[in-house]
């Protein structure tokens, strides 16, 4: 048992060591690789442009769902004005980096692993070595450098699109003040009503929020949506954009 544990521990340490050496060789090869900029540009296209659709789709739906579900909860406490803060903080601090990374790993990472696997199987990597080309510098280094550029950009894009999705569901569909003073598109009232109705808690809803007795949300919720239709004066809403900016300052 002790021997087995020792072997496992040594195997894990050895794996980390191999990874560290591989990463070190990949970085070191950037000084030796020839025509690196063009290969990095190609890798940026592969990781950036080709992954854009999946990033955009996931980002907009994440924002939409955060807006809808956040409104559902905050509305019970009469705090729907904080929807902007909820969406922007959760996106900027947690969801955008994690989900963008997952999408990139899923799309670009799997494509890269498949490509390298085929190259290894068909002796292309050995062929590079026999030509005197540093195979790590040729295959890995450009992708590593492009990831340094692409990952933050994709995360930022995820945040922007996710916020837009949150604004779409929160402001346009559910009527929360967006803080935007220019001309704006208003969702048809029938759409707003149907979305609000679908968010209205059912009597059978057994969530802890639904049974909370001291909130002002129960009459509001039972009165139905959208917000402007309420008789009580609305709480000052925190818009998406200022909250996002303030969250950036506090991070």
Partner 1 sequence: MPAPTKTAPPADLLLQVDDLHKSFGSHEVLKGISLEVARGSVSTVLGPSGAGKSVLLKCLADVEQPDSGRLRFDGRPLDFRNRQARAAFRRRCSFLFQGNALFDSLTALQNVALPLEQTTNLADGEIRRRSLEALEQLELDHHVNHYPGTLSGGMQKRLALARAIVTEPELVFFDEPTAGLDPLRRNAVFSMIAKYQRQFSFTALIVTHDVVEALVASDRVALLNQGRICFTGTPEEFSTSDHPVVGAFRDSTDALRSSLAGIRISGQSAPQAS
- Give whole-number Cα distances, 172 to 72, 186, 199, 203, in Å: 15, 6, 15, 27
* In the complex, least distance from residue 42 CB atom to partner 1, rounded to whole angstroms: 10
Interface ranges with partner 1 (CB under 8 A): 34-35, 115, 118-119, 122-124, 126-133, 138
Closer residue to partner 1 (CB): 130 or 250: 130
CB 151 within 8 A of CB 103: no
Closer residue to partner 1 (CB): 115 or 178: 115
Cα pseudo-dihedral 175, 244, 79, 189, rounded to 10: 10
Closer residue to partner 1 (CB): 12 or 126: 126
Q: What's the gap between Cα 251 and its chain centre? A: 17
CB 167 within 8 A of CB 60: no
The size of the chain, in residues, is: 251
Closer residue to partner 1 (CB): 30 or 69: 30
- CB neighbour class for 153 (10 Å; exposed up to 12, middle 13-18, buried from 19): middle
Closer residue to partner 1 (CB): 119 or 215: 119
* In the complex, least distance from residue 110 CB atom to partner 1, rounded to whole angstroms: 16
* In the complex, least distance from residue 156 CB atom to partner 1, rounded to whole angstroms: 29
* In the complex, least distance from residue 134 CB atom to partner 1, rounded to whole angstroms: 8
Tokens matching residue 166: 């949150």
* In the complex, least distance from residue 32 CB atom to partner 1, rounded to whole angstroms: 10
**Can you tell me the distance from the alpha carbon of 111 to that of 46, in angstroms, rounded to the nearest whole number?**
9
């Amino acid at each position: 048992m002790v021997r087995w544990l020792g072997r496992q521990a040594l195997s894990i340490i050895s794996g980390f060591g191999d990874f560290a050496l591989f990463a070190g060789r990949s970085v070191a090869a950037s000084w030796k690789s020839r025509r690196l900029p063009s290969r990095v540009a190609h890798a940026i296209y592969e990781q950036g442009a080709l992954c854009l659709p999946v990033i955009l789709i996931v980002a907009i739906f994440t924002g939409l769902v955060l807006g809808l579900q956040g409104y559902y909860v905050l509305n019970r406490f009469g705090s729907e004005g904080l929807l902007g803060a909820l969406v922007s903080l959760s996106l900027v601090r947690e969801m955008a980096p994690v989900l963008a990374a997952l999408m990139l790993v899923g799309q670009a990472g799997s494509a890269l692993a498949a490509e390298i696997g085929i190259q290894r199987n068909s002796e292309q990597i050995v062929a590079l070595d026999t030509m005197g080309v540093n195979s790590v510098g040729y295959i890995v280094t450009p992708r590593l450098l492009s990831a340094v550029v692409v990952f933050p950009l994709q995360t930022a894009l995820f945040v922007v699109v996710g916020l837009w999705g949150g604004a779409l569901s929160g402001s346009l569909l559910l009527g929360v003040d967006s803080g935007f003073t220019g001309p704006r598109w208003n969702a048809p009232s029938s759409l707003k009503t149907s979305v609000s109705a679908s968010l209205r808690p059912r009597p059978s809803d057994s969530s802890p929020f639904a049974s909370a007795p001291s909130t002002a949300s129960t009459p509001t919720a039972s009165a139905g949506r959208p917000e402007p239709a309420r008789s009580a004066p609305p709480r000052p809403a925190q818009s998406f954009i200022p909250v996002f900016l303030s969250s950036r300052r506090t991070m």
